[in-house]
Amino acid sequence: MSPVFGTSSKPELAAGEQFGSETNLIEDKNDLPAPFPDPSVPSTFNGALKHFAFQSSVLTSSIENRDRPSLIPTPSPRPVKRKTPDQMASPAPKRSKRASVSASPTPQTHGARDISTGRMQISSTVSVAQSSPTKKTKRASSAYAPPSTYAHLPNRLTDSLAPSLLVLFIGVNPGLRTASSGHAYAHPSNLFWKLLHSSGCTPRRCLPSEDHDLPHLYSLGHTNIVTRATKDAGQLSKVEMDEGVAVLEEKVRKWKPEAVCLVGKGIWESVWRVWKGRGIKKEEFRWGWQEERFAAGEGWSGARIFVATSTSGLAASMRPAEKEAVWRDLGEWVVARRAEREQEAKADGKEAGIEVEIKAEREVGRAGPGEMDQPTESNPV
């Protein structure tokens, strides 16, 4: 019989012999425990002992491994969110159909353990969002503010007027910074002084503190359709704007400027409502020079009307380049008209000098020879 792994090659025990007795106890250092020994084949004492030790170690390791925590983390199942009675009664909010797009969709892995098998079931889902164009946020318009809202604040702004101006600029009303400083368009975000220079109306950029120097420096002036100060023009009512048209007509008729510049679309809309008795239509409105004349009558043809864009920093409906294009038409007219005035002034000066010389010669001729040298009380020799 061929030897079996973990057993001895010794023949079967004789009758009456017992396993483990001195007669069949054989020391064999090479004996190894057989995992599955054949019960019909006798084993040595060492083989049986090693086999017992092997089985004991396997049983002990299985018990220890059962209580030892696993090195692979097991995700716990997500808790179930239950709605309260109030949430169930209230309707669910509507979700927007448009969603933001993620540049690179990343897979999201969700896992749950099967209780029956103890194995992890993994499902991978990829969420891709739909694209939506970004919209420009629109600034909310201010609500009407009664005069008592800013009655406690000082209003030091006054008009800058003079006879025969080239252009009289008409604004809506002073802002809070302008009213407190007493200088027109004083807020740093206001583009009035910048557009006044870039358009050519002034050869340099002036400061708000020079507003009262404009008449004698550049033959320009300024006033407003409404005198009270507010945060912005949206806090005024249409009634206030329309009532200011009659006041403007009196000022223009008194000082007689060659042109008036309405700084803002809303001023022209108020003038149109007062003159026409209705609001201006979209197809009727245009920037720049208008066909109508302002405050015509009493032997005067009236001032030309130029509708310019608002210079307020809150008016962001037009880009700066678009505003400059509108104002440039006014600046070109001012430059040309100022040059014509200078030529007229020189011509008038020459004519005035000639008239003075002619008058002096006539006086000398009337006096006769030698009479001018005679001593008099006023001209003693």
Q: Which of 11-25, 85-99, 166-180, 230-244 shows the lowest per-residue confidence on average (mean pLDDT)?
A: 11-25
Mean pLDDT value across the chain: 77
CA distance 313 to 233: 12
Which of 31, 66, 68 shows the shortest CA–CA distance to 52? 31
CA distance 269 to 265: 6
Confidence (pTM): 0.59
Q: Which of 93-102, 147-156, 215-224, 263-272 shows the lowest per-residue confidence on average (mean pLDDT)?
A: 93-102
Contact (Cβ atoms closer than 8 angstroms) between residue 166 and residue 334: yes
Phi-psi region of 353 (alpha: psi -120 to 50; beta: other; left: phi over 0): alpha
Q: Give the pLDDT confidence of 10-61 residue by residue, as tens digits.
A: 445 455 444 444 444 444 444 544 455 555 555 667 777 777 777 776 666 6
Here the tokens at position 258 are 């060659």
Does 338 score more than 80 pLDDT? Answer: yes
Cα-atom radius of gyration of the chain, to the nearest Å?
Answer: 52
Phi, psi torsion values for 267, nearest 5 degrees = -70, -45
CA distance 174 to 183: 9
Given the structure tokens 């969603």, which residue do they identify? 99
Does 259 score more than 60 pLDDT? Answer: yes
pLDDT value of position 131? 45
